[in-house]
A and B are shown apart, each in its own frame.
Chain A
Amino acid sequence: MINFSDLTFIFRFLPVFVIAFYLTPTKFKTWTLLVGSLVFYGVGDIRMLPVLLGAVVVNYLFSRAIRGATKKKLLLAFIVVIDALMLVEFKILGQMVDNSLMPLGISFFVFKMISFQADTYMEKITEDPPFADVAAYFCMFPQILSGPIMRFSDYDDNDLIGKDAYKPELKTILSNIEDGLKFFVLGLFMKVMIADHLSMLWNDIGTIGYESLSTPLAWIGAVTYSMQLYYDFWGYSLMAAGIGVMIGFPFVVNFDQPYRAKSVSDFYRRWHATLGSWFKDYIYIPMGGSKVKAPRIIFNLLVVWLITGFWHGITLNFILWGLILFVIIVSEKFIVFKLLPKWLGFIVGKLHVFVLIPLTWVIFAIPKMGMMEDYFCRLFPFFGEGIAVNGSDYIKKLGLYGGFLLLGLILLIPGVYGLFEKNRKKPVVTIILFVIFWICVYSLSNSAGNPFMYLRF
């Protein structure tokens, strides 16, 4: 149930929650959000609920202490270290012992907590928010699993909850829900109709075995995985933001057309933007950011990208992924956009986005070094020969999945999403969304309860 693209979530939890939320008197809406979120989390992973609750209480107490203290810095450092250690420890446990030991969404709620403490310290949060608000901010179910990492100031912008909340008119409620639903449906479509199908193709590619891919298929695979990841996460983010809009929060932009970027550093301002800005505000800038000498900037970037890699996972491939991005970004900053003529810099930057980024996703995708090596040998066949390669494998795969790839490529065109966003109040868009919503439900009905959607023998 705790998956936005699960039919029981869409048709049961979500409507029940939204109705309950709006039926609750203004004063207690925060509690409805908190309790609903805890139920959501508990259904997903009841064993780890105490971990979340403990972290919430400890962080709340520390934030109060920081606000009143004279030695603020020490307290901040202390709680940040505690939060970070908790995250690291559970990540290691999850990796080394058993995946189920990692509490759901811990990477995200811990980052929210650290951001909350830092904002308190920097006095961006001036008033003393009550416990229920802080807890609801940390736990709110639209964001607890995979972000977006919303700031407390955005949480506070919701006029339906908190201290200065007002009672909305029915038409405001309905248009909130309607608008949120539109983003939700588009996100659902990206996830169910594009990402899930592309992940089947990626799985097929694994089934063949990387050492046996034809070179065209290996490249199609790189594109496939890149798009799968993009639509999976963008779709999720749209659904999460849409649910937020339904209950009065501002729309949180987590993906801003990343493939429109002019460079890799630009790409990561647009890709998972709330994570990028988290790193910028709480690590990069406190370390001096770009206002220091060149060697120090390079060092700062190294720290940021090592932590980014580690945050995604503690296997070697994620660290390698972070390091490669670090190298590309440094080269962009000090060579491509500094020394090359402008037009050449433009071309190189675009190449980075369209060629290097998909290649870095391949590294991201394959945790085993040997298999990664095999994959790159097939991408660049002059590195080595394949085994039992069927040269026409890609034609067959394109026949099966070409439509989904095409759909993904169309949505990659920057104007398409903009068109939706601008015209989403028009009847045409409403009708289209209505149709794609039911296509998704149809597809989900026929794959739900069927664990072999990805495994048809």
Chain B
Amino acid sequence: MKLLKYCPLLFATAVVSIILSCLTFALKDELYGDYAEGYDSAKMPFFSVMMKGMADGVFPWDGVADIRAIDEKFLAGRQSEETTETPTQETVTAKETEEPQPVQETEPEETDISGNDVSGNSDISGNDISGNSEEEEGYEFCEVTDDYFEDAVFIGDSRTVGLSEYVEALDTKATFYSKVSLTIYTVLDKPFLKMEGKKGKITVDEALSENQFGKVYIMLGLNEMGTGNINTFITKYSEVIARIRELQPDAIIYIQGIMHVTADKSDNDKLFNNPNINERNEALSQLANDEDIFYIDMNESVDDEDGNLITEISFDGVHLKASAYERWHQYLLQHAIVKE
């Protein structure tokens, strides 16, 4: 014991490491079950599991009883791939049928959207909406001025934040409900909006209940590439659309395809790559009904000839540089639906 006085820091650190490891071990099946699942022993010490949990507000002294509530809150984000099979059209449409509109003819040959065979409905995904044969009064995209955005709200992640910060014309006209690292799983329920003259922060759900808009633009989906799979994503997306429809009965809803990443990023990333983005965009385009929910894809304004984000207009391969947001703005100006 006398030796302790030569090394208090060493001793305390060693003891705490051991205690934390034991504690984590004891709680690994219950409280920290979700976190222990993804634990890779080659990459970090065992108690990191607990620290990851603590970052989400799950502390060792939280009773086991609370687990349920916490689980529900974070499971969506941390979904470990239950089945990583290629998603099929059936699952998408099946879950959608009660949703906005039964756009999709459930023909048997339509079952595979994950592949390249999208011939059956490829024209829906583009900007040409004539493809939907059931459409009676087809709306055409037309060019508008910035005044069009007076009653528009943009919902999205850091990319939409960038749009608000670097396109003044949009920022002054439209409303932005956007936040860095926002996902489709958290978009409605995360309180992050500061309203003028009010204390605290409110959720998008609340904000949309209080304010009515003529147009709702959504671009979400990149942050989600790392969690869950295409099915969980699309299911959640369609739920969100349904809820927005409910809150904003008269608004035109624009589902924006997820913006691509650069070729370099795409080639070197297992998750955040353009084939994955295209797959999800294809599925997103199916959520449109071309009556009051439209799919638009701004990628044509920022892509090179190979369908990757142009290298020169991005620093990190993911975000547009400030000077390139104008391309997106121009695209929006030229792809508007005007209803009389």
**Residues of chain A having any CB pair with chain B under 8 Å:** 7-8, 11-12, 170-171, 174-175, 177-178, 181-182, 185, 203, 206-209, 211-212, 387-390, 393, 396, 427, 430, 433-434, 437-438, 441-442, 444-446, 448-449, 452, 455-457
Contacts and interface: CB of A to CB of B under 8 A. Distances in A.
B51 A209 contact: no
Nearest to A211: B323
B183 to A, nearest CB: 9
Contact of B7 (A177, A388, A452): A177
A170 B323 contact: no
B16 interface: yes
Contacts of B181: 456-457
Contacts of A427: 8
B321 A178 contact: no
Nearest to B314: A207
Interface string B171-184: 00000000011000
B158 A449 contact: no
A170 B3 CA distance: 8
B166 A449 contact: no
A434 B12 contact: yes
B111 interface: no
Contacts of A171: 3, 6
A439 B196 CA distance: 36
Nearest to A389: B322
B222 interface: yes
22 contacts: A7-B45, A8-B43, A171-B3, A174-B3, A174-B10, A181-B13, A185-B9, A208-B321, A208-B322, A212-B322, A387-B322, A437-B9, A441-B51, A445-B47, A445-B51, A445-B52, A446-B51, A448-B44, A448-B48, A449-B40, A455-B316, A457-B157
Contacts of B55: 442, 445-446
B165 A438 contact: no
Nearest to B4: A174
Contacts of A182: 9
A442 B54 contact: yes
A187 B52 CA distance: 23
B323 A388 contact: yes
Contact of B315 (A177, A206, A433, A452): A206
A434 B3 contact: no
Contacts, number: 115
Given A7-B45, A387-B322, A178 B316 contact: no
B44 A445 contact: yes
A430 B9 contact: yes
A207 B181 CA distance: 15
A36 B3 CA distance: 27
B316 A177 contact: no
A207 B321 contact: yes
B159 interface: yes
B7 A178 contact: yes
B315 A207 contact: yes
Contacts of B7: 174-175, 177-178
Contacts of A430: 8-9
Contacts of A181: 9-10, 13
B316 A207 contact: yes
B9 A388 contact: no
Secondary structure at the B interface, as helix, strand, loop or mixed, is helix
B171 to A, nearest CB: 9
Nearest to A184: B9
A455 B223 CA distance: 10
B323 A387 contact: yes
Contacts of B217: none
Nearest to A454: B316
A446 B13 CA distance: 19
Contacts of A396: 165
Contacts of A211: 321-323
A457 B222 contact: yes
B54 A212 contact: no
Interface in B46-103: 47-48, 51-52, 54-55
A99 to B, nearest CB: 13
B187 interface: no
Contacts of B40: 449
Q: Which of A175, A177, A438, A445 has the most chain B CB atoms inside 10 A of its CB?
A: A445
Interface string B206-236: 0000000000000000110010000000000
A209 B6 contact: no
Contacts of B42: 8
Contacts of A448: 43-44, 48
B51 A442 contact: yes
Nearest to B56: A446
B106 interface: no
B50 to A, nearest CB: 8
Given A177-B7, A181-B10, A457-B157, 13 more contacts: A8-B42, A12-B45, A171-B6, A174-B7, A178-B7, A388-B166, A388-B323, A388-B325, A390-B166, A437-B13, A444-B48, A445-B48, A448-B43
A387 B6 CA distance: 60
Given A174-B10, A445-B51, A457-B180, A212 B3 contact: no
B326 interface: yes
A185 B157 CA distance: 36
B17 interface: yes
A211 B42 CA distance: 42
Contacts of A174: 3, 6-7, 10
B45 A209 contact: no
B192 to A, nearest CB: 14
Contact of B158 (A8, A12, A457): A457
B194 to A, nearest CB: 13
A177 B54 contact: no
B149 to A, nearest CB: 17
Contacts of A388: 166-167, 322-323, 325-326
Interface string B322-338: 11111000000000000
